[in-house]
Each structure stands twice: as structure tokens, then as C-alpha cells.
Amino acid sequence: MGMFNIWLTEACNLKCTYCYESNKSMQYMQKDTIENAIEFISRKSRKMNCCLINFHGGEPLLAFDNIMYFVSELNKRIEHPVYSLTTNGLLLDEEKLKKLYESKIYLSLSLDGNADVNDQCRISRDGKGTYERVVSKIPLIMKYYSELRIRMTVTPATSVHLYESVKHIYQLGGKLIIAVPDLYDKNWTQELINGLEKQVFDLYREFENTDLEFIFFEKLENCKKGKCDGGINEFNISIEGELYPCSFITGNKEFLIGNVIDDVDDELLSKFSTSYGKENHTCTGCGREKVCTAVRCKYINAMMTGDLLKAHPVICAFEHLVNNISRRIKIQE
């Protein structure tokens, strides 16, 4: 399976406090870059059984016409592509939703909880909260997407409200809720993570026989993750048409591996791909080396510690949280 993450724009109509894109420009991918990106994806996908294409921003719906153009052109050249995007929802209307649905684009909505929780971080550019405006869109969204998919960001400040936030979003109609901790926040403590573990365990137990699929950080299956395939079967295309092996480092020139015109530069990629599959310096004896995010994703290591082969303690703490919950559930079954 191949994956292409396309950054259509760095512009956004919000100014979320935790956003790692907040220091970027307000630029959009230009027409010639779009054409070259389409050619690049078409060329690479010929060797792939299936192809997942994610539209990124900024807020991707600010580039709605370009999304539709990508889909129209790629549908002519690729067999059975799968499209997805995550949006803050503010730009959704009947016309856009109808086109997204008809184009078979999977849609996820960003929402962090109830008004008090969501509006701590998810604010408009004038500093106002966004909860009421986003939630008002949910009935219209569910007219087309009955299986409402929600993407939550959990910060140290909001982590104590995770249990109530998930229950609130479920009551709004959420059927798939993916809660992702903000790993870059420096305020995580073991006490907060222990508190999250209790909440996450209670949520898995409470909703295990319902129509809600809840995921915190990663699924509980503890599946072997295998090697990273960034720059091999996964490609991240910046608004300038540059190629990067991972979404975590897209735009960071240190990790540039080529461009959509000239393709991947094997020499540039080899500087990083030689680390794929290697054990991290800090992971000897852990026991989770086959299933751990930090073992597979060398680029998140690089972003958080400056070393491809060194895991950050926060990643380790969340990995152990997932492992502890998985073991507790298995014991109780």
C-alpha cells in the first residue's frame, strides 16, 4: 500500500495554540506544482496495490477547488484510490459536503471536547472559541457522513477532562473518536499520564460493546509495526513540491529527499533510511521494540530528541500506557 500526503496550503482560518503549522506561511500550492504532483503520484502508484491520498493544510478546505481537481485527475490515472482529509469544519456547507461525499473522500472533524475544553486551544484568529460554530455543522455533516469521525488533540491542560470529553462527543454523534496526545507539549508529567491511563481504561471498558470506536494514541492490538517506509512507499509533498519521508518533518529542509519533478534522490534518502529497522539506543530490554511507535518512526525521534535512534521519554510513557491498558483488558476477559 502506498501513501501520499499532500500539503495543499499552509494557510488556516484558526490559530490553535498547539498547532505545529502555526509558524508557517499562508501560501498555497501553485498550479504547476499541482500538475507535477499529479504526475509524480501517478508514476509512483503504478507499483502499488492500492493508494491512500491525504489532503493536508493548514486548513485543507481553503484549497477546496484544488482538492476537487486532484481527485478528478487522479481518478483518471489510478485504480481505486482512497482519499481522506481532516478539517476544522468551519468552511463546510451543503455544496462542499455533497461534493466531498460524492468524491468518496473520508472526512474527519477536529474537535477536542465540550466548549470549555475545545476552546482552550481551538481558537479563531481573533482569539475567540470555535466550539459553537463547529458543533452547529454536525447535523449537516451527518446528513452525508453518518459515521462521524472525530480527531481530538489532548494536551496536558485538557488531559484531565478526556473521559468527559469523549462521552460528550459520543453524545454529539461521534462514532470514531481518535484522541492523540500533543507529544511536543513540554508540560507532560508522569502524574498526568497516570491519570490518562485510568480514563482511557474506563473509556475502553465503557464503550467496548457500543457503536463507538475509541482509539487513544494507537490501537491496543500491539501489532508488529515493521520498518518505516518513508520515501519508499510513503511520500509527503510540500506546497513547493518538495518530497519528505514523513509528515512529522515535512518542510524541514534537513530531511528533504527530492521533489515531484526529479523524483526521490536515493543518496539523500539513504542518509535516513539506513536507520530503518535499527534498534534505538534507549530501547534495549524494553520488550516493546516490535510494536513501539518510536522504534518504527525514526523521524519523530529526530524531531523530539535530535537523534533518529533515540526515543523521547514522553513517547515511551504513552507506549507503556497503551501496553498497560491492553494487558489489563486481557486479564479481565
Q: Delimit the domains of the chain by residue range.
A: 111-213, 234-329
Distance CA 73, CA 109 (A): 25
Question: Residue 22 CB: number of other CB atoms within 10 A?
Answer: 13
- Looking only at the bridges linking them, the beta strands covering 2-7 and 234-237 are parallel
The C-alpha cell at 9 is 496550503
The reported pLDDT for the residue numbered 22 is 55
The pLDDT of residue 222 is above 70: no
Task: Yes or no: say if 12 and 49 are a contact pair by the CB < 8 Å rule.
Answer: no
Which helix (H) or strand (E) segment holds residue 2: the answer is strand 2-7
Distance CA 179, CA 135 (A): 18
pLDDT tens-digit readout, 64-92? 999 999 999 999 999 889 999 999 999 99
In this prediction, residue 331 has a pLDDT band, given cuts at 50, 70 and 90, of low
- Specify the pTM: 0.94
The reported pLDDT for the residue numbered 307 is 94
